Copies of this chain bind each other. A is one copy, B any other.
Amino acid sequence: MATAITSRSGHVGKLALHRTIASFRDWRRAVGLSRPDTTIGLVPTMGALHEGHLALVRQARRDNDVVVASIFVNPAQFGPHEDLERYPRQLAQDSRVLADLGVDHVLAPDADMVYGQHHTTYIDPQASLRKTAEGQSRPGHFRGVATIVTKLFNIVQPTNAYFGQKDAAQCVLIRRVTEDLNLDVTVHVLDTVRDADGLALSSRNAYLTESERRAAPVVYQALTNARSLFQQLENDDDDGGRENPCIDRDALVHVVRATLAAEPLVSEIQYVAVDCKATLQPLEHVHLKQGAVLSLACKIGNVRLIDNIIL
């Protein structure tokens, strides 16, 4: 029945699956009229769900009366040579997983319904974010993310929305857009979920060959090696001797790059960035009190992986 279930709106257990925006809106308007104090939690996803998504869903389930997940592979956030076509799609399976976790509604419209024939309006993310490492690395990506998140917030009108820290730049962007466009939604960012060996969960991990998968924990290892350096600073400061202790960006980047370079399956290091936690602007020095986001993008074989930790 999975095929029939996922080709049009219907039910998977108690979960209502909406394959059209109109079907979802009918429900949204009705609940707004009959139970206006209902709290609604939204977990926006591109499907191919892993434990990282499920952690967001569980938090949404704890916080809200109703939980909505969206499953939409957003063409606007993929570059022309990226993996839009190849991106895994498994709506029937995802819907069952979400139903088991007590999700009430899934919004999974087709792309030509989300971006109509005459669609031409995009959210222009702040120029400064476009200039961040991830923005430079994926031109147009943030514009696509900001546009789809605005659209989803307007369709779902959630009380709360949940995102994962793994996409650090995306989280800063979404907080910025939500505030700037006066969207009446509280944005929650949850910690990155990792496999036992440290690899951050990602739908793109499915592209890794077996040997690449074995090599992939080097990404997190590189970040934690740099963190050790930062923690030395903390330890050194325990006697409280130095005023405003800090570490140079270059020292952190060096450790990350050296760790990655030692793994032969790392085919490309796209960036290693040390940025302000609030604005994602690059930092020259990381002060003990202010910390930073340390993030990187690299390729293992042909698979692009990103990860970050908060210092």
A contact set with B: CB distance below 8 Å: 21, 25, 32-33, 36-37, 116, 118-129, 143, 146-147, 150-151, 154-155, 157, 176-177, 179-184, 279
Q: Do A121 and B116 touch (CB < 8 A)? A: no
Q: What 18 additional pairs, Cβ within 8 angstroms, besides A123-B124, A124-B124?
A: A25-B184, A116-B179, A120-B125, A120-B126, A120-B127, A120-B128, A120-B176, A121-B126, A121-B146, A121-B177, A121-B180, A122-B124, A147-B181, A151-B180, A151-B181, A151-B182, A154-B181, A155-B182
B180 and A120 form a contact (CB under 8 A): yes
Q: In whole Å, how far is A176's beta carbon from the nearest beta carbon of chain B?
A: 6
Q: How far is the CA of A150 from the CA of B181 in the complex (A)?
A: 7
How far apart are A16's CB and chain B's nearest CB, in angstroms? Answer: 19
Query: How far does the alpha carbon of A154 sit from the alpha carbon of B185 in the complex, in Å?
Result: 10
- Can you give 20 A-B contacts (C-beta < 8 A)? A32-B36, A36-B36, A116-B180, A118-B179, A118-B279, A119-B179, A119-B180, A120-B176, A120-B180, A121-B123, A121-B124, A121-B125, A121-B180, A121-B181, A122-B123, A124-B124, A147-B181, A150-B181, A154-B181, A155-B182
- Copies of this chain held together in the complex: 2
B121 touching A154 by the CB < 8 A rule?
no
Which residue of chain B is the closest to A115 with respect to CB atoms? Answer: B180
Whole-angstrom distance from the CB of A141 to the nearest CB of chain B? 15
